[in-house]
Amino acid sequence: MLAQRIFASGLLIVCIALAVMAWPYQAAFSYEPVGPRAFPLLMLALMGLGLLYMIFRPSAVVHSEDDPKLDRETLTKIGLCVVLLLVFAGTFETLGFILSSVLIGIPMARLYGGRWLPSIVIISLMSVGLYLLFDIAMDVPLPLGLLDVLEN
């Protein structure tokens, strides 16, 4: 229990430091009414509230038999997910949203037991659908990357 409270206290200090760094942020232009600093400050505030609860709660978190074990297989999947998300972040601008989503989504689906054909079809349709949702419905521009020739 002491280790959980020490961890929560350390993470709370990190949240406070990040909030102090995010507070003075002002963008040169803003296309949303609350500005660019509202989202990180809101997320840090919610994290801070959760961490305060973790520090002052009366009992420790007890894991039950139903909780998944952190064995080698689970940790390997988590590590591969992190690597895939880093690859997504690295290829987002150059390949564009659709291609990088397909590139990362199919291995992610296979990692968690998806079959090849359904994974390819569903991830491809979701990538195109999410691009259209963001670009047309919500007017949030996403990069097309290599598919830029399809625009106009």
- Burial class of residue 86 (count of CB atoms within 10 Å of its CB; 0-12, 13-18, 19+): exposed
Q: Report pLDDT digits (tens) over 76-112.
A: 999 999 999 999 999 988 998 999 999 999 999 999 8
- pLDDT for residue 32: 58
pLDDT digits (tens, 9 = 90+) for 26-70: 766 656 555 667 778 889 999 999 999 988 887 766 777 777 777
For residue 144, what pLDDT band results from cuts at 50, 70 and 90? confident
Give the start-to-end residue ranges of the domains of the chain: 2-56, 72-150
Per 3-state DSSP, the chain is made up of helix, strand and coil in percentages (nearest 5) of 70, 0, 30
